[in-house]
């Protein structure tokens, strides 16, 4: 396909349309406005621009325009990759990638081409850093697994197939280790001495933000700690020592930070990313994406606090106190 250029918001719009197959501008706007403030007219303008670029198809149904993808997601990503790689390495980068794959003599021409596409997709995601959203992280890893599953077939007599079996054994073992490690650490965190009632200042915060009082627990602990536990019934744990040290606004900032983790199911996403990075331990890119995902979750939780309190002073104050003690 011809070269295309997409801005960050255009990429998010395209991802939404690819995911839903068919949607209106309002559908896309409602989806994207959950995480950010974006005008409906802006989404309409972007989708019209994407139609002009040949990336979307538009059809009038009644009084509403319905949009469908005009091209496959992978084709667009590969086209963007070719432009990005060219700006970094020119023709040498493409030749080096092909030379690497050509060195694998034990695979078919079709498999060789698929491997080029997988490495290309990974390189694009790494260079452009578009992998901070959980959905994109899962999409990238899923693309790798899909291509390997469809085009690399087991042959007991082949060196490559034996290597794949060996690597798969290690991958599964590492994933199981991560799962066991998570279960053990999670059980350890569940061993806390809970206060029977919440302090008044914490009750006020819980009531203000429509939280169930059972969703917040005070731990009789001399350490300054606050964290979220539980995959399916998550709870916010705050130590009594931290409550005693923080001002009311700083305590609210801490609770809001953990509340965002709780409502967004970040703990579940982090577990999934650890398991996936273990399965693909032989691809450093996947581990990098998992770390980026963790960083993005923390930044998103901080942004949620600032949005609710209209200032970052209380959040910074609580962090400074944690560092001090």
**pLDDT number for residue 58:** 92
The pTM of the full predicted model, rounded to 2 decimals, is: 0.52
**pLDDT number for residue 322:** 57
pLDDT one digit per residue (tens) for the chain, 325 residues: 556 667 778 878 888 888 888 899 999 998 888 777 788 888 889 899 899 888 899 998 888 889 999 888 767 665 655 555 454 444 444 454 444 444 444 555 555 555 555 555 555 444 444 434 555 555 655 555 565 555 555 454 555 556 667 777 888 888 888 888 888 887 777 777 788 788 888 889 988 888 887 889 898 888 888 888 888 788 899 988 888 888 889 999 999 999 988 888 888 888 888 888 888 887 777 888 888 888 888 888 888 888 888 888 888 887 766 544 4
Of 4, 29, 28, the C-alpha closest to 17 is: 28
Q: Residues 89-115, buried b or exposed e (16+ Cβ, 10 A)?
A: eeeebbeebeeebeeeeebeeebbebb
CA distances from 222 to 243, 250, 256, 291 (A): 10, 18, 22, 30
**pLDDT number for residue 67:** 93
Retrieve residue 273's tokens.
Answer: 């990313």
What DSSP string runs through 281-311?
A: TT-HHHHHHHHHHHHHHHHHHHHHHHHHHS-
- What's the CATH number for 188-324? 3.30.2010.10
Dihedrals phi, psi of 293, to nearest 5 degrees: -65, -45
Retrieve residue 41's tokens.
Answer: 């007219």
Query: According to the 3-state scheme, what is the secondary structure of 151-188?
Result: HCCCCCCCHHHHHHHHHHHHHHHHHHHHHHHHHHHHHH
Dihedrals phi, psi of 211, to nearest 5 degrees: -100, 145
The answer to whether 179 and 278 are in contact (CB under 8 A) is: no
Of 251, 272, 269, the C-alpha closest to 317 is: 251
**pLDDT number for residue 143:** 58
CATH of region 8-71, choose from 3.40.1790.10, 1.10.8.80, 1.10.10.10, 3.40.50.150: 1.10.10.10
Beta-sheet strand order (sheet of 23-24): 23-24, 64-69, 56-61
């Amino acid at each position: 396909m011809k070269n295309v250029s997409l801005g960050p918001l255009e990429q998010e719009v395209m991802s939404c349309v690819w995911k839903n197959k068919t949607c209106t501008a309002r559908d896309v706007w409602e989806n994207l406005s959950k995480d950010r403030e974006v005008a409906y007219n802006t989404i309409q303008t972007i989708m019209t621009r994407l139609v002009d670029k040949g990336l979307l198809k538009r059809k009038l149904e009644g009084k509403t325009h319905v949009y469908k993808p005009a091209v496959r997601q992978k084709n667009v990503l590969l086209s963007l990759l070719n432009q990005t790689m060219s700006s970094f390495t020119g023709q040498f980068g493409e030749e080096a990638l092909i030379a690497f794959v050509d060195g694998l003599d034990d695979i078919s021409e079709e498999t060789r081409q698929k491997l080029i596409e997988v490495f290309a997709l990974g390189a694009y995601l790494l260079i452009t850093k578009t992998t901070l959203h959980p959905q994109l992280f899962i999409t990238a890893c899923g693309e790798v697994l899909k291509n390997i599953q469809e085009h690399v077939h087991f042959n007991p007599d082949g060196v490559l197939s034996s290597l794949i079996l060996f690597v798969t054994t290690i991958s599964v073992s590492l994933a199981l280790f991560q799962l066991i490690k998570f279960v053990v650490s999670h059980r350890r965190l569940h061993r806390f001495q809970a206060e029977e009632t919440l302090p008044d200042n914490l009750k006020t915060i819980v009531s203000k933000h429509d939280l169930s009082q059972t969703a917040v627990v005070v731990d009789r602990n001399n350490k300054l700690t606050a964290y979220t536990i539980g995959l399916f019934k998550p709870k916010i744990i705050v130590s009594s020592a931290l409550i005693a040290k923080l001002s009311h606004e700083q305590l609210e900032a801490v609770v809001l930070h953990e509340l965002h983790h709780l409502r967004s199911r970040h703990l579940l996403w982090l577990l999934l990313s650890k398991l996936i990075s273990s399965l693909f331990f032989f691809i450093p890119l996947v581990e990098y994406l998992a770390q980026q995902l963790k960083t993005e979750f923390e930044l998103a939780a901080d942004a949620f606090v600032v949005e609710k309190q209209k200032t970052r002073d209380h959040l910074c104050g609580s962090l400074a106190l944690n560092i001090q003690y």
